[in-house]
Amino acid sequence: FSGENEAEFLGTERLLRTVGFDVVHLQAYSVRPGTAAARRPDDVPIEEKKRRLNHLLDLQRQIALERNQALIGRRVEVLVESVTADGRPFGRTRQGKVALLPVGSAAAGELVEGRVRTA
């Protein structure tokens, strides 16, 4: 955010670690005309914005991987969306995670249960 100092940035990092989101939408701050923030100076150098963004993206990838690995061995429901060209059904869990199922195990539109094998 414009004017964000290192302590404030580290607060964002702590929040990501504490909450442990599955997904976050991150981008570097840029001025949006007509907003209150547009009246503030955009005094964080672009290189610093990129560094902070890349750091948070890397952190979030690690958090998501750890959360996904925690599901290995568990059974989950999957709503099958479609079938790949090689016949593997795929869909999403109730948490929005993509799941790939064994060939011929389900058709599009079916709600099936499967065991998580990899993350």
Query: What is the span of the domain harbouring residue 64?
Result: 6-69
Mind spelling out the 3-state secondary structure of 74-114?
A: CEEEEEEEEECCCCCEEEEECCCCEEECCCCCCCCCCEEEE
% of the chain beyond a pLDDT of 90: 86
User: In angstroms, rounded to a whole number, what is the distance separating the alpha carbons of residues 14 and 104?
Assistant: 44
The confidence score (pLDDT) of residue 18 equals 98
Contact 101, 113 (CB under 8 A): no
Contact 99, 76 (CB under 8 A): yes
The answer on 17 and 65 residing in a single domain is: yes
The answer on 52 and 91 residing in a single domain is: no
**Does 85 have pLDDT greater than 90?**
yes
Residue 85 lies in a domain: yes
* Helix/strand/coil for 115: strand
The confidence score (pLDDT) of residue 48 equals 96
Residue range 18-69, pLDDT digits in tens: 999 999 999 998 888 998 888 888 889 999 999 999 999 999 999 999 999 9
Question: How many separate domains does the chain show?
Answer: 2
The confidence score (pLDDT) of residue 45 equals 94
